[in-house]
Amino acid sequence: MTPPTTVPVRRALISVSDKNGLLDLARALVGHGAEILSTGGSARTLREAGIPVRDVSDHTGFPEILDGRVKTLVPQVHGGILGRRDLPAHVRQMEEHAIAPIDLVAVNLYPFEATVASGAGAEDCIENIDIGGPALIRAAAKNHAHVAIVTDPAQYADIITALEKGGTTLAQRTKLAGAAYARTAAYDAAIAKWFAGQEGEDLPPRMIVAGEKRESLRYGENPHQKAAFYTDGTTRPGVATARQIQGKALSYNNINDTDAAFEAVAEFDEPAVVIVKHANPCGVATAATQAEAWDRALRCDPVSAFGGIVALNRTLEAAAAARIATLFTEVIVAPDATEEARQILARKKNLRLLLTGALPDPAQGGVVVSSVAGGFLAQTRDNGRIAPDALKVVTKRAPTPAEMADLIFAFRVAKHVKSNAIVYARDQSTVGIGAGQMSRVDSARIAATKSADAAKAAGVDHPLTQGSVVASDAFFPFADGLEAAIAAGATAVIQPGGSIRDDEVIAAADKAGIAMVFTGMRHFRH
């Protein structure tokens, strides 16, 4: 039989942990002749507001037991939800067992995700795993031909409008059912993730990825692609948790690049600036002040910086804001900004200013997911960080203290540059970056060429790479990549090591009189 198009609501079950909008929904239901069944805190809230409500325990003749763990898991409730009104056998059985039909179920779940995010202990987390709620939601969603399932206060307004028109429509109930199953799936995913974490499993046998749409985007990487921004409930500071203070809506590419920039700038303890273009740093520097760090980061590649993303690891100050505002910039992201800095940037109406409140911890773990045809890849976050005492000097000459500091700086930058990555640095500032090339030699040469162009723009008569150090995200498979860096003027090298031709590469370094250290750790980034 064809499901009814419009179903009037004569009886509704309400059991919600989030009370936002509850009274408006309840008053509309009662105003249109519906009886409300409810439990616990929801029933109490309705009574205190003077809204007539019947306890589920009175409706079922069975009390709430086990500290409220069992209150709706009874035939009188689930029969009323699951019974098909268009099947005579169902109608007859409901009448035989005095099961009254329920036309609308409004349920939102115990706040398990929020409890975990608060840092609560295992016992509290387990107590906030809802059992009856998901059962009610799934039952109502299954029988959406006859029952409306409401799982989010944001849906209340549409329900109220439907009541004014005589009841919920089949199209509306179908849409609500889909949203309901998505909600229970995400809820179960959060629970599964928590249990995996309790067992120390970053990559469990079955991984469920769930997200909540934060906003629809104008398009994806290109205008013919659809896109949306989803959040996964984690609290890592970044673009997903930031407040947008000003500017037009973020694009897909803005979000991706901002994430890359903010993760990179968090690597440094000193005041730092990272400029990113197309997911790659094109300038990175630390300095005593933000303004100086900006000037030095910009010097690395002023051409690529145009229209880029700027990330800072301190509260944005007015002096730095004034300098950044002289260049067309898509996004600025920082933990905070002074009022004076905000006023300066407010003159740039299209510039997006994002404030995150904190920095992500580069040493923190987590899982990163990338899609492929037919599935996805998952890996733990690259949280590797090299300490000076972990480095192995493999050449006759050891780096000077200044070179060693720059080597560590350059290797941290290389961690955030697309492979094959080559980073030249001097005085805690990048002076040349080569990214995303199929050949490491090409990355070394491109970085040197861009450095020479930047030198001309700065009025300097020699390449900025002269006297620099160089970092490679992976080993040099042949000596030619190293020789290209030496030709560019590098005096010290940091690389993972591990090539079958390491001896050949070391010999080339010794011949040139440069220092080289091995990290034993690779930073591929694809």
Q: What amino acid positions are annotated as catalytic residues?
A: 142, 278
Centre a 10 Å sphere on the Cβ of residue 309 and count the other Cβ atoms it contains.
31
Q: How many CA atoms within 13 Å lie on the side-chain side of 201?
A: 12
- CA-CA distances (angstroms) from residue 149 to 53, 131, 433? 19, 16, 55
DSSP-derived pairing of the beta strands 352-355 and 308-312: unpaired
Q: What is the DSSP string of 450-513?
A: HHHHHHHHTT-SS-TTTT-EEEESS--SSHHHHHHHHHHT--EEEE----TTHHHHHHHHHHHT
Q: Please check whether residue 81 is in contact with residue 102, taking contact to mean a CB–CB distance below 8 angstroms.
A: yes
- CA-CA distances (angstroms) from residue 460 to 259, 456, 463? 33, 6, 7
Query: Residue 168: what residue type?
Result: T
Whether residue 420 is preceded by a cis peptide bond, meaning omega within 30 degrees of 0, is yes
Centre a 10 Å sphere on the Cβ of residue 468 and count the other Cβ atoms it contains.
28
Q: What is the rounded distance in angstroms from the CA atom of residue 118 to the CA atom of residue 110?
A: 14
| Nearest CA among 347, 314, 355 for reference residue 331 | 355
Q: What are phi and psi of 425, to 5 degrees?
A: -145, 150
